[in-house]
Amino acid sequence: MEEFAKLIDRLIYTRSRNQKLDLIAAYLRDTPDPHRGWALAALTGDLEFPNAKISAVRTAANERLDPLLFKLSRDFVGDTAETVALIWEARPQPKDAETGPISVGDLVEQLHNVARKDAPALFAQLLDRHDPDGRYALIKLATGAMRIGISARLAKTAFAQAFSLNVDDVEEVWHALQPPFLPLFDWGEGKTHKPDISDAACFRPFMLAHPLEEEAVDMAEYVVEWKWDGIRVQIVGTRDDVRLFSRGGDDITAAFPDIAENFDAIGVVDGELLVRGDAQGDANTQGSAASFNALQQRLGRKKVSAKMLREAPAFVRLYDILFDGKNDVRALPWSERRPLLDRFQPKLQQGRFDLSKIIAVDDFEQLRLVREGSRDAAIEGVMLKKRDSPYIAGRKAGYWYKWKRDPLNADCVMMYAQRGSGKRSSLYSDFTFGCWNEDGELLPVGKAYSGFTDEELKWLDKFVRQNTVNRFGPVREVEKTLVLEVAFDSIHSSKRHKSGLAMRFPRISRIRKDKPAQEADIIATLRNMID
Amino acid sequence: MRAVETALVTHGHADHARSGHQRVYATPETLAIMDLRYATHDAGCPVAYGEVFHLGPVSISYHPAGHVLGSAQIRLEYNDETVVVTGDYKRRSDPTCAPFEVVPCDIFITEATFALPVFYHPPTQDELQKVLDTLKTNAESCVLIGAYALGKAQRVISELRAMGYDKPIFLHGALAKMCTLYEQFGVDLGELIAVSDAQKTDMQGHIVMCPPSALNDRWSRRLPDPITAMASGWMRVRQRARQRNVELPIILSDHADWTELTDTICEVNPREVWVTHGREEALVHWCGLRQISAKALRLVGRETEDDG
């Protein structure tokens, strides 16, 4: 427990990602099984103890401490775990009781086995055995809410780093394993092979595309598909289970039962999750998809209502196949995988799954025209896939390219600024900008924190500091004099914002020091850009 | 707080000492600090620790509070009843000022900045050892310590010197004048260099000090890969430290922590405790639990959190 507590304490105060990785990796290398596995699960959010909740800690605190002093302290600190860690009044232990810090493994075992009614007493006994750092770490581990700025991905990356493995390989087996991940550590230490996960409905890392930057590619080597604006999704069907994963490996099955229930096959496929509608595409393309906004209504939900299923039915436009039945086909070239996908798709419920159309393009000039037309067809752009590319994790140069349509542009006026985080914490780098309405009032239309060079950022930061008219906590309101040319992929109507508009991927493309603020764009112009 | 004819001032922090009074009674050190900060040269009446003087029927004396250079508790006696106003105080040793003196009294008016049981200030040297350890393992960086300009900065430097740290310490411009004043009163701070007179590389592997407000500001960009530290009692709470982007929290305060506050009340053993400047409710409640008569005295002009 002492080592884990030290790790948590240092992670809290470490800002650099590399230093965080080093700290976690060193802990995972130096700590024996099963303790390190449980600790890793705590960091990735894979630990849960149904009977050991924060309310039990609160009960224990109120029994041991003066309730008003505890309450006042809790109000000040803002976090029950930290408050209890700081003010716990330890009692001397009875003679026969175990004293001193507990091991992570023993802690997990006791938390697993405790009955709900006994949890406060267990916490009291555990808190008595630890110092404030140990108490903090054990409450955080027990109650699951670490909130120390470590994502699951970062913890897995640290594991990979600790044992010189590829993080995508780790990600691939991760979902099939349970804490304390003994096969994972055995593999890491070279004692066994990579764990066999063929029967589990688990996530495989996605293959991703590079933006097209080279002038031209040889169209004899590439196929072209439309780039749809939904979310990439992976569907995994095994004999007993179907799972949907987002690009980051999050299990989103519960939010899309209309997809999962209609996937009745064994295999793993990759596609774009979309909602039925007519915003994207037209008669000449493939179409029948709603805007990203419509899909967004359905994302991030634990449960989905019948009304939502009816009004915003989801479907998947299939791009690729990773497993055909139980056969891993990822090493095959795209040109051999696609026919497998063509044969796989008819096994699925029609209307819920269709195939991404291959666009006939003879040469690069023609592709240029196709891409230019994608704005009219309200499609995000085109994808280029090398015919001989295997399906491999991550971005591999030369295999897949995305070529988005040219962005839209608008001249907006800077309204508010906020400091960035990490390396940018001393700089005002997040900007809210607006356009004029008919009454000559500026309304915010978006927020951007990229697109500028380091030099430009320095200039913008200086502008903010010299033109502040108001402060609202971390936010500065500035003199409405600076015009920013903002580039964005598309714009949609939105009820969330006063302007009624929401931009997709806005970034600052130019600082228009030459342009007076009065000549910035009006809201109506932006509204006309809605697809 | 408004200007008055006669002011009794405990110490030089801005929430206790304002300018514009006609006559100010304070220790010579406090008067010098007020002159430096306000440049008003109010009619100062220097009072030595322990010296008794009279204002009308009230006899008055000043006693060390152990808070910052020149800080005093003020004892007032009238009709056989005595009141002690602590101003701000602490009980831990501080090489830059005289230690707190227990003054028996009927009514004890105590500060309450850290009057919650979460506040415990660990041994000073353990906290500063963290800085020295960090320097050892980060030769390319500097450790940038945010510390309040009056008291905290000089105490940190002085404690580091007492621990044998004799390398130059680099200072933000806002700290320089007060350090010079401390030195004039005989507090040896060793070699100090203004950051504006130094090259980036000079500061690698060294300690740089600045007021807390400069920690995350543009000013810090001139430093070699600074590791952000802050010396304050508030650093006891992790979330507070994180909010300020502190990487190396140094729990070190010029105020009494919970144990010091409660121990001092027991030691002084007054008939009645009045609580002000901070978290009055918790300390009044604690007194109630021990059958000590206590009430909250709400005063204007509470300190900012930088003064921790």
DSSP assignment of A401-453 equals EEEEPPPEEEEEEEEEEEE-SGGGTTSEEEEEEEEE-TTS-EEEEEEE--SS-
Residue A9's identity, in one-letter code, is D
* A487: in domain: yes
Condensed to tens digits (0 to 9), the pLDDT of residues A4-59 reads: 999 999 999 988 899 999 999 999 999 999 999 999 999 998 898 999 999 999 99
A227 and A138 assigned to the same domain: no
For residue B110, is pLDDT > 90? yes
For residue B286, is pLDDT > 60? yes
A372 and A435 assigned to the same domain: no
Q: How confident is the model at residue A375 (pLDDT cuts 50, 70, 90)?
A: confident
Burial class (CB in 10 A: 0-12, 13-18, 19+), B74: buried
A263 and A397 assigned to the same domain: yes
Q: How confident is the model at residue A198 (pLDDT cuts 50, 70, 90)?
A: confident
Least confident of A77-81, B158-162, B204-208, B264-268: A77-81
For residue B306, is pLDDT > 50? no
B241–A13: do the CB atoms touch at under 8 Å? yes
Q: How far, in Å, CA of A196 to CA of B258, rounded?
A: 56
Question: Residues A242-250: what's their mean pLDDT?
Answer: 87
Q: What is the percent of chain A with per-residue pLDDT over 90, rounded to a whole number?
A: 61
CATH number at A241 reads: 3.30.470.30
Domain boundary, last residue among A386, A404, A422: A404
A415 and A370 assigned to the same domain: no
For residue B64, is pLDDT > 60? yes
A484 and A392 assigned to the same domain: no
- Name the region of A181 (left: φ>0; alpha: ψ -120 to 50; beta: rest): left
Rg (CA), chain B: 20
Nearest to A426 among B120, B220, B238 (CB): B220
Residue B115's identity, in one-letter code, is A
- Structural contact between residues A403 and A384, judged by C-beta atoms closer than 8 angstroms: yes
Tell me how close the Cα of B250 comes to any Cα of chain A, in angstroms.
12
pLDDT score recorded for residue A18: 93
Condensed to tens digits (0 to 9), the pLDDT of residues A417-444 reads: 998 876 677 789 999 999 999 888 999 9
**Pairwise pLDDT comparison (A531 vs A455), residue with the higher score:** A455
A26 touches B at CB < 8 Å: no
CATH number at A449 reads: 2.40.50.140
Q: How confident is the model at residue B302 (pLDDT cuts 50, 70, 90)?
A: very low
The residue range of the domain holding A63 is 2-143
B117–A13: do the CB atoms touch at under 8 Å? no
For residue A129, is pLDDT > 70? yes
Nearest in space to B48 (alpha carbons), one of B64, B36, B67? B64
Structure tokens at B22: 């006609």
* A63: in domain: yes
A64 and A39 assigned to the same domain: yes
Q: How far, in Å, CA of B154 to CA of A485, rounded?
A: 49
A420 and A393 assigned to the same domain: no
Question: Residues A495-520: what's their mean pLDDT?
Answer: 89
A47 and A72 assigned to the same domain: yes
Structure tokens at B240: 């507070």
- Structural contact between residues A381 and A228, judged by C-beta atoms closer than 8 angstroms: no
Nearest to A66 among B237, B248, B289 (CB): B289
pLDDT score recorded for residue B305: 39
pLDDT score recorded for residue A473: 75
What ipTM does the predicted assembly reach? 0.93
Q: How far, in Å, CA of B61 to CA of A62, rounded?
A: 44
CATH number at A65 reads: 1.10.3260.10
pLDDT score recorded for residue B299: 60
Cβ atoms within 10 Å, residue A267? 22
Cβ atoms within 10 Å, residue B3? 11
pLDDT score recorded for residue B41: 61
A87 touches B at CB < 8 Å: yes
Question: Residues B53-72: what's their mean pLDDT?
Answer: 97
Chain B residues closer than 8 Å to A15 by CB: 245, 247
Nearest to A73 among B116, B216, B238 (CB): B116
Size of interface A-B (CB pairs under 8 A): 63
A133 touches B at CB < 8 Å: no
**Pairwise pLDDT comparison (A185 vs A378), residue with the higher score:** A185
Tell me how close the Cα of B116 comes to any Cα of chain A, in angstroms.
6
A77–B118: do the CB atoms touch at under 8 Å? yes
Tell me how close the Cα of A42 comes to any Cα of chain B, in angstroms.
19
Domain boundary, last residue among A143, A177, A194: A143
Q: What is the percent of chain B with per-residue pLDDT over 70, rounded to a whole number?
A: 95
Backbone angles phi, psi at A355, to 5 degrees: -100, 135
Chain A residues closer than 8 Å to B305 by CB: none
Stretch (H or E) spanning A328 = strand A327-328
A379 and A460 assigned to the same domain: no
Q: What is the dihedral of CA A370, A375, A381, A387, to 10 degrees?
A: -20
Q: Which CATH number fits domain B6-118+255-296: 3.40.50.150, 3.90.660.10, 3.60.15.10, 1.20.120.330?
A: 3.60.15.10
Residue A441 C-alpha from the chain's centroid: 36
Give chain B's contact residues with A (Cβ, < 8 Å): 116-118, 120, 216-218, 220-221, 236-239, 241-242, 245-249, 279, 281-282, 285-286, 289
pLDDT score recorded for residue B181: 97
pLDDT score recorded for residue B301: 44
User: How much is the mean pLDDT over chain B?
Assistant: 92
For residue A249, is pLDDT > 90? no
Nearest to A77 among B218, B239, B247 (CB): B239
A393 and A462 assigned to the same domain: no
Q: Which residue carries 């409640």 as its tokens?
A: B285
Q: How confident is the model at residue A172 (pLDDT cuts 50, 70, 90)?
A: confident
B242–A13: do the CB atoms touch at under 8 Å? yes
Structure tokens at B266: 């027991």
Q: How far, in Å, CA of B35 to CA of B61, rounded?
A: 22
A521 and A389 assigned to the same domain: no
pLDDT score recorded for residue A277: 87
Least confident of A98-107, A284-293, B63-72, B227-236: A284-293
* A369: in domain: yes
Condensed to tens digits (0 to 9), the pLDDT of residues A253-305 reads: 989 999 999 999 999 999 999 999 888 877 677 778 888 878 877 887 777 88
Chain A residues closer than 8 Å to B247 by CB: 13-15
Domain boundary, last residue among A124, A143, A162: A143
Mutate to test the interface with B, among A8, A73, A429 (most CBs of B within 10 A): A73
B239–A72: do the CB atoms touch at under 8 Å? no
**Pairwise pLDDT comparison (A407 vs A376), residue with the higher score:** A407
A128 and A233 assigned to the same domain: no
- Structural contact between residues A346 and A354, judged by C-beta atoms closer than 8 angstroms: no
Three-state DSSP class for residue A233: strand
Chain A residues closer than 8 Å to B281 by CB: 72
Tell me how close the Cα of B157 comes to any Cα of chain A, in angstroms.
23
* A189: in domain: no
Mutate to test the interface with A, among B238, B248, B262 (most CBs of A within 10 A): B238
Nearest to B216 among A12, A65, A425 (CB): A425
A422 touches B at CB < 8 Å: no
Q: How confident is the model at residue B300 (pLDDT cuts 50, 70, 90)?
A: very low
A13–B221: do the CB atoms touch at under 8 Å? no
Class of CATH domain B124-250: alpha beta
Residue A255's identity, in one-letter code, is A
B218–A136: do the CB atoms touch at under 8 Å? no
Nearest in space to A35 (alpha carbons), one of A174, A146, A152, A137? A137
Q: Which residue pairs from A162-167 have beta carbons closer than 8 angstroms and sit at least 24 positions apart in sequence? A: A162/A24, A162/A25, A162/A26, A162/A28, A162/A29, A162/A188, A163/A28, A163/A29, A163/A187, A163/A188, A163/A189, A166/A393
Q: How far, in Å, CA of A415 to CA of A441, rounded?
A: 12
Question: Residues B288-293: what's their mean pLDDT?
Answer: 95
- Structural contact between residues A407 and A450, judged by C-beta atoms closer than 8 angstroms: no
Chain A residues closer than 8 Å to B241 by CB: 12-13
A136 touches B at CB < 8 Å: yes
Q: How far, in Å, CA of B242 to CA of B168, rounded?
A: 29
A69–B285: do the CB atoms touch at under 8 Å? yes
* A319: in domain: yes
Tell me how close the Cα of A339 comes to any Cα of chain B, in angstroms.
54
Q: What total number of domains does chain A contain?
A: 3
Question: Residues B91-112: what's their mean pLDDT?
Answer: 96
For residue B84, is pLDDT > 80? yes
A66–B285: do the CB atoms touch at under 8 Å? yes
Chain A residues closer than 8 Å to B120 by CB: 86
pLDDT score recorded for residue A34: 96
Indicate the domain borders of chain B.
6-118+255-296, 124-250
User: How much is the mean pLDDT over chain A?
Assistant: 90
Nearest in space to A42 (alpha carbons), one of A107, A132, A122? A107
**Pairwise pLDDT comparison (A293 vs A91), residue with the higher score:** A91
Nearest to A15 among B118, B237, B247 (CB): B247
Burial class (CB in 10 A: 0-12, 13-18, 19+), A207: buried
Question: Residues A341-347: what's their mean pLDDT?
Answer: 95
B116–A76: do the CB atoms touch at under 8 Å? yes
pLDDT score recorded for residue B288: 95
Condensed to tens digits (0 to 9), the pLDDT of residues A386-423 reads: 999 999 988 888 899 999 888 899 999 999 999 887 66
Q: How far, in Å, CA of B233 to CA of B308, rounded?
A: 5
